[in-house]
Amino acid sequence: MRTYELMTIFRPEMAETDVRTEVDRVAGALTERGAEITKNDFWGKRRFAYEINHLTEGYYSVLEFQSEPAAIVDIDRALSLSDQVVRHKFIRPD
């Protein structure tokens, strides 16, 4: 088991409730693959430090969880393909 942190940026034109359900979906998909969510931190809308795809802001969410490395592979792909996600990143805190 390893500790991971998943930061996801969602598109700003979504409604906040939709973003939250989307975050819960990701969290559900993680637990389904044997991950244990330790923290679910929703930051809300935040301005970017620079423009991404002509967007200047987005919803930030941070999920902290313990899981096997294999569990994040599908999620990583799903998030890359998702239209609602501007950017996402898995980080292993030291």
Partner 1 sequence: MSPRSKNSPAAAKRKRRAPERGGRRPKKQTCEFCDRTKGHVDYKDVASLRKFMSDRAKIRSSRVTGNCPRCQRKVARAIKNAREMALLPYLGR
**Chain contacts with partner 1 (rule: CB under 8 A):** 7, 9, 48-50, 52, 58, 60, 62, 87, 89, 91, 93-94
Q: Which is nearer to partner 1, 33 or 48 (CB)?
A: 48
| Pick 33 or 87: Cβ nearer partner 1 | 87
The least CB distance from residue 65 to partner 1, in Å, is 16
CB closer to partner 1 out of 13 and 17: 13
Least gap, CB of 48 to partner 1 (angstroms): 4
* Dist CA 92 CA 94 (whole Å): 6
Q: Spell out a b/e string for 12-39, using b for 16 or more CB atoms within 10 Å of the CB, else e.
A: beeeeeebbebbeebbeebeeeebebee
Q: Which is nearer to partner 1, 23 or 58 (CB)?
A: 58
The dihedral region occupied by 27, where left means phi > 0, alpha psi between -120 and 50, and beta the remainder, is alpha
3-state secondary structure (DSSP) of residue 80: helix
The CA distance from 1 to 34, in Å, is 10
Q: How far is the CB of 7 from partner 1 (least distance, A)?
A: 6
